Structure formats: C-alpha cells, structure tokens
Structure 1
Amino acid sequence: MARQLGFDLPSRTALGRDAFFVAPSNAMALAMIDRWPDWSGGKLALTGPTGAGKTHLAHVWATQARARIVQATALPGADVPALASGPLAVEDVPDIAQDSDAQTALFHLHNLVLAEGHSLLLTGTPAVKHWGLTLPDLASRMRGTTAVALEAPDDMLLTALLAKLLADRQLTPKADLIPYLLSRMDRSFAAAIDLVRRLDAASLAQKKPLTRHLAAQVLDKPPAGG
C-alpha cells in the first residue's frame, strides 16, 4: 500500500536473505557467506563500497550462523569473553584505525573467537590492506584473513537496490520512475541511498506523491554539503 502523505513513517530496512538481490557483482560474496563453516581459518573479511550490502550480508550470515553483530567502535570496554562465546560479526573495522583501545580489544576478541572454535566475520569499505590498523599484531591477522569484495553495481542491481530502498521507506513509485532515476543519478550504492533519502524527505515536505516531476526537483538540487 502506498504511504499516506504527510506522515513521517519510519524506514524499515529489510535485511533477510529473501531481500538480498543476487547479481554478478555480489554473487561471489554471497557464495562465501553461504559456505561459512568452511572459511579458511574460521574467518572472512567482507569489503565493498558504502551501501553495497555488507551489513545486509552480515545479517544474513548472523541468521544462518546464529551469530552476534557488533560495531568495531563499540569494542572498548566490551565483555570480550561473552562476545567470543559464539560466532561473531564485527562491522566497520576501519573505523577503529585511530582507536588503540578498540584495536586491542579486537585483537583479543579475534584470538578468543577462533580459539573457541567459532567463526568470525569482519567488514570494511576498502580492501583489508587499506584498513589503516596501527596495532601490528592485529594488522597482521587481518592481512592473513581470506577476503571477498562486493563489486560496483550494474543496472540490474541498481534497479533492485532502488526498489528495495523505496520499499523500505514504504514508497510506491510509478513504473517509469526507477528507469528515470537510473538515467540521471550517480551510479553508486551510496548515491542510491542518498537519493532515496532525499526523495522521501521531499515527498514528505511537499506532501506530494513520488513522481518524475518531484524526482527532477530533487536531482537538480545538489545534496547537502555537496
């Protein structure tokens, strides 16, 4: 059902396996997630552009493996033995590149999770060698982790991503809207996420349905800070 105009309903992000659209750019990463019991050394690093689906795949894996998910920035002061008591996903590892306490916690957590015989998933945007970790022992362990990358999207994947993002925000576009957006938007995951956010905000602010005319206004207005 289309959303009623004028009510700022919460975005509901679908993170289940059935909401993950498989395309050539992400098929290898999904295959590695599905083969998690066979990960070399019990761990995997998942990389790729912002919005590429790393968090989505982390949730898919967490459901399969009955794993916990924790942000790397939340590790200082965390109960490492408790976190290491089962499979674990640590998101956005590069975010702790300047945090020695978080790196130390991740080093101990990495060792304990694997020592307990559990699996460890780590995510980050750039390739692992560019995560910028300054703790030598941790950096060495990360470089020794099998990695798989989510690649830049093709038209098919961008179409599916836009449809999913709009559905997450309970927006029902007309059939011609997504092809129109694809022809004019920056072709990246991050751009798609930002564009849908701005379309949603404009629809609410103007109390108008999501149309090509409204989309043209949004596309012609530079993003905040841009």
Structure 2
Amino acid sequence: MAQQLGLDLPSRPALGRDDFFVAPSNAIAVAMIEGWQAWAGRKLVLTGPPGSGKTHLAHVWANLSGAQIIDAADIATADIPALAQGPLAVENIPAIAGDTTAETNLFHLHNLALAEGHSLLLTGAPAVPHWGLHLPDLTSRMRAATAAALEAPDDSLLTAVMAKLLADRQLTPKPDVIPYLLLRMDRSFAAAGDLVAALDAASLALQRPVTRTLAAQVLDNGISAAR
C-alpha cells in the first residue's frame, strides 16, 4: 500500500494519579508526593531521567495541593510575588543554570513562597549537585531540600510506560508488540517515548495498525529509541 500523509494529531497525556504506575523504582517518590503535607521545610526536589514521570507527578501534586506549575525557563520574566501566593511546582531547574536573572528570581521565589507558608516542588533530571547552578545561595537551598529520585525502569514499569504512551496517542498495539520491543529497545524512558512516536508516525503513514511486523520495520529502519 502506498504511503499516505497522516494527520499529526497531538497526543493527550493522561496525567492523573490513577494513570501513574507504581513500581519499586518510583514507589518512594510517589509516597513523598502523596505525603506532601509532611515535607521537611515544605519543599521537595524530584529528580529522574527524561520521561521518568517528573511532570506527571508534578501534575498529581498540583491536583492534591492546588499548586501552579511553571517551567524554570519562564522564571526570568515571571511575576514572582504573584507566584509566591500559593504552592508551586518549578520544573526543569537545570535549564536555567548560568542565567543570572532566572536564578536570582528563583532564589527570591523560593524564599518568598516559603515565608508565605506555601510548599514548593522542584524538579530536574540529574541529582541536585549536577544542576550546575551558579548562584551560591540558590544552590545551598536546593541542596538542603529533601530529594526523591525516580530510578531507571524495571520490566514491569517500562511495560506500563510503553502502554501509557501508546494509549496517549490512541494506539492499540497487538498483545505481542510491547514484549517484542522490550527485548530490542534501549531501556530508558526517553527511548520509550521516541519509539512510540516512531510507531505512531509509521502507523499513520502506512495506514496500518501497530503490530509486531510494523514494530520490526520501525526498528530495522533505525527509528528506534537509541540515544
């Protein structure tokens, strides 16, 4: 069958608590999010590799606490006093490393929000010592926060992540597709995301369901999630 141009529809991630699969690699982080009212100093740092669920858990926490969510890249131009009026999740903090304005604003936001009695969730891919922040006072406050890490996925978690990513794109794979992929893909959350995107694109272009045969073709064409 000739290839057709598919409609590149945006996926709709399911970000509710019931959509987050709990496994040994993330159980502590989930428990910390659910027990947010007991955070030491009213703040928590959440770390983990790309695609590991930091944003998902930030949304879970926002639903529990009524928090706003902001990307750290937007801190430089944000209204800091307004943001400090309630609980807040600041995502991807390493992205502002070396940005003097953003780091200074985050420092003031951190202090003001806590002074107002609100809680902070702070996220980044590596552990805090590797965030590369330049402002010493900000660095010390980040390092002083309790940290919870999302670890590399085991088979059960990676299976659940693949199933969720496929469902987010309204894809229903044949039962043997995910086990087949797990044996051949890079075992990371980022890899899973790239591979599902490639499967979605191939399914749309070829107007075919997601089968083991299609998965094999995607992998054979080098559209795996290797990084």
TM-score scaled by length of structure 2? 0.95
Give yes or no for the alignment of 1:147 onto 2:157: no
Give 1:206 shift: 1.5
The alignment status of 1:129 with 2:129, answered yes or no, reads yes
TM-fit CA distance, 1:9: 3.1
1:71 maps to what in 2?
71
**Which residue is equivalent to 1:38?**
38
Look up the SS of the partner of 2:117 in the other structure: coil
- Which residue is equivalent to 1:167? 167
Q: Report the counterpart of residue 57 of structure 1 in structure 2.
A: 57
What letter matches 1:65 in structure 2?
S
| RMSD, aligned CA | 1.5
How many residues align? The count is 222
SS class of match (1:89): strand
Alpha-carbon distance in 2 for matches of 1:169, 1:98: 36
Amino acid at match of 1:74: D
- Tell me, in whole angstroms, the C-alpha distance in 2 between the residues paired with 1:87 and 1:167: 31
Match of 1:217 in 2: 217
Structure 2 residues without counterparts, runs of 5 or longer: none
Amino acid at match of 1:55: T
- 1:187 corresponds in structure 2 to 187
Identify which range, 207-216 or 50-59, moves more after superposition. Answer: 207-216
Deviation of the 1:7 alpha carbon: 4.0
Match of 1:97 in 2: 97
Q: How much has 1:183 moved relative to structure 2? A: 1.0
Asked if 1:120 is matched to 2:115, the reply is no
Counterpart residue identity of residue 93, structure 1: I
Farther off after superposition, 206-215 or 5-14: 5-14
How many Å separate the matches in 2 of 1:146 and 1:68?
Answer: 20
Cα displacement (A) at 1:213: 1.1
**What is the rounded CA distance, in whole Å, between the counterparts of 2:18 and 2:62 in structure 1?**
14
Q: Quick one: percent identity of the two aligned structures?
A: 71
- Secondary structure of 2:32's counterpart equals helix
Give the residue type in structure 1 aligned to 2:210: L
